């Protein structure tokens, strides 16, 4: 009972130190995300906000009128204007704030898992643009319904049972806060996002090795005259997964150096440039975000091991054009955006740089601009020469510091 009393005191007393972000239902966040009340249904949404709106669940199928809208679900206002739902405290996409949401947020705060942008907004309870242990604590209080209970209600058997269930969560939160505080003092968080700076000369590319799949191949074939002495290690259909195949495999799609197939990490060491730009993912996102991410993360580690002095720049996976025939439930712009968010967090953790290339190629609805698409209306993923030139300019105006 002493532990229970301490836990109850911890949740009640310390939980009130942090205010929830002051979002109201149906607030629009960053143009693409909309705040939804907990346990709201599509029917509620149409009655209270816009009668034309429909909701698709995470898998892309239509959500029933009386099912709950969860974080990350797609709310369609028009054919081209979509929003991502955000239910504050709900990171499990079921529209209900539970103890397990607090657990997941704590794991994210400890960098054990990574969230999509919608999940990050839902988890950021005090609106400081970071997910920390105290956000998990605030969600725990919400899940247990402790915000407005009297002392008598807090002492009830049911509430005590719920608190007992969350004991391990609260203890982990207390421990993690001291750990994270020590870590932040010892190692200020690295900001991986490359910022706008004075445009560099074309000679900047003398330092660059460019790695990628068929999206990057087009630059090597059609825009090489704009990239100086840049080196390319690119191949159609390349991915972090098939890079692990043997180079002697007849189905191998490894890039070549002087006509000889090489694995990416070995090619990095042979070419030995101080800046390594890489874009992979389009060819394997459909196999699962976590699986693809783990393969990519492992490849980047091998590259850094082989080239310990090189600066690695992870480039965002570029979006698909509206109407792309390649769009499926497992390969679409939502999944690409989630994948890029995961890569961004990885870069912050591992101290790689991140180039947000997608930001200059998308239209207002998040699709690849038609004029930048080289294979519209079929695959809808490859770039035109003009898009390559925008890409090159973005690299030169967002250089790695010190180069």
pLDDT tens digit sequence for 87-126:
999 999 899 999 889 888 988 888 788 888 889 999 999 8
Query: What pTM was computed for the model?
Result: 0.56
Residue-level pLDDT at 183: 56
- pLDDT score recorded for residue 60: 79
| Cα(347)–Cα(196) distance, integer angstroms | 18
Residues recorded for the chain: 403
Does residue 134 share a domain with residue 212?
Answer: no
Cα–Cα distance for residue pair 144/298, rounded to 1 Å: 39
Residue range 31-57, pLDDT digits in tens: 889 999 999 999 998 888 888 889 998
pLDDT, residue 265, reads 97
CA distance 53 to 2: 51
Task: Choose among 328, 330, 334: nearest CA to 365.
Answer: 334
Answer yes or no: do 178 and 248 share one domain. Answer: no
Would you say residue 17 has pLDDT above 50?
no
CATH of the domain at 326: 3.40.50.1110
Among 186, 213, 236, which residue terminates a domain?
Answer: 186
Residue 195 domain flag:
no
More confident residue, 13 or 396: 396
pLDDT at 9 over 50: no
Domain match, 231 and 177 both: no
**pLDDT average, residue stretch 177-185:** 54
Q: Please name the helix (run of DSSP H) or strand (run of DSSP E) that holds residue 209, with its range, or none.
A: strand 208-212
Mean pLDDT of the chain: 86
- Domain assignment present for residue 194? The answer is no
Residues 215 and 313 in one domain: yes
| Residue 39 dihedral angles phi and psi, to the nearest 5° | 60, 35
Q: Which of 153, 186, 219 is the last residue of a domain?
A: 186
Burial class (CB in 10 A: 0-12, 13-18, 19+), 379: middle
pLDDT in tens, 271-303: 999 999 999 999 999 999 999 999 999 999 999
Predicted confidence (pLDDT) per residue in 55-93, tens digit: 998 777 899 999 999 999 999 877 778 889 999 999 998
321 touches 376 (CB < 8 A):
yes
In a domain, 386, yes or no: yes
Q: For position 109, what pLDDT does the model report? A: 87
Question: How far apart, in whole angstroms, are the C-alpha atoms of residue 257 and residue 380?
Answer: 29
Cis peptide leading into residue 377 (ω within 30°): yes
Using one digit for the tens of pLDDT, what is the confidence trace for 226-278?
Answer: 999 999 999 999 999 999 999 999 899 999 999 999 999 999 999 999 999 99
Judged against a pLDDT cut of 90, whether residue 207 lies above it is answered with: yes
Q: Flag whether 219 is in a domain.
A: yes
Range of the domain at 392: 202-397
pLDDT reading at 205 higher than 90: yes
User: CA 98, CA 350: separation in Å to the nearest integer?
Assistant: 31
Number of domain units in the chain: 2
């Amino acid at each position: 009972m002493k532990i229970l009393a301490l836990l109850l005191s911890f949740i009640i007393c310390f939980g009130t130190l942090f205010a929830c972000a002051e979002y109201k239902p149906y607030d629009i966040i960053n143009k693409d995300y909309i705040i939804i009340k907990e346990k709201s249904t599509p029917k509620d949404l149409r009655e209270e906000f816009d009668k034309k709106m429909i909701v698709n669940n995470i898998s892309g199928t239509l959500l029933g009128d009386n099912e709950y809208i969860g974080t990350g679900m797609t709310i369609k206002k028009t054919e081209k204007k979509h929003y991502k739902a955000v239910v504050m405290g709900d990171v499990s996409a079921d529209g209900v704030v539970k103890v397990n949401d607090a657990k997941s947020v704590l794991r994210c705060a400890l960098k054990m898992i990574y969230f999509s942008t919608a999940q990050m907004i839902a988890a950021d309870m005090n609106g400081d643009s970071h997910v920390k242990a105290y956000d998990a604590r605030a969600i725990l209080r919400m899940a247990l319904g402790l915000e407005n209970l009297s002392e008598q209600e807090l002492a009830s058997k049911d509430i005590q049972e719920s608190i007992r269930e969350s004991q391990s969560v609260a203890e982990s939160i207390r421990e993690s806060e001291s750990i994270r505080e020590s870590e932040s003092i010892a190692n200020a968080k690295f900001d991986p996002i490359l910022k706008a700076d004075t445009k560099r000369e074309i000679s900047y590319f003398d330092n660059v090795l460019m790695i990628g799949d068929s999206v990057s191949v087009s630059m090597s074939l059609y825009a090489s005259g704009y990239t100086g002495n840049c080196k390319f290690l690119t191949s159609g259909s390349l991915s972090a997964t098939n890079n692990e195949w043997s180079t002697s495999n007849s189905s191998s799609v490894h890039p070549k150096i002087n006509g000889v197939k090489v694995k990416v990490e070995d090619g990095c060491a042979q070419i030995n440039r101080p800046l390594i730009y890489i874009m992979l993912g389009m060819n394997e996102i459909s196999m699962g975000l976590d699986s693809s991410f783990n393969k990519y993360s492992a490849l980047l580690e091998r590259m850094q091991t082989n080239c310990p002095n090189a600066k690695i720049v992870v480039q965002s996976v570029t979006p698909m054009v509206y109407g792309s025939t390649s769009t499926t439930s497992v390969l679409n712009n939502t999944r690409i955006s989630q994948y890029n968010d995961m890569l961004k967090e990885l870069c912050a953790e591992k101290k790689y740089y991140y180039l947000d290339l997608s930001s200059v190629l998308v239209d207002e609805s998040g699709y690849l601009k038609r004029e930048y698409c080289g294979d519209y209306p079929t695959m809808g993923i490859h770039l035109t020469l003009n898009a390559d030139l925008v890409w090159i300019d973005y690299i030169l105006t967002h250089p790695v510091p010190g180069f």
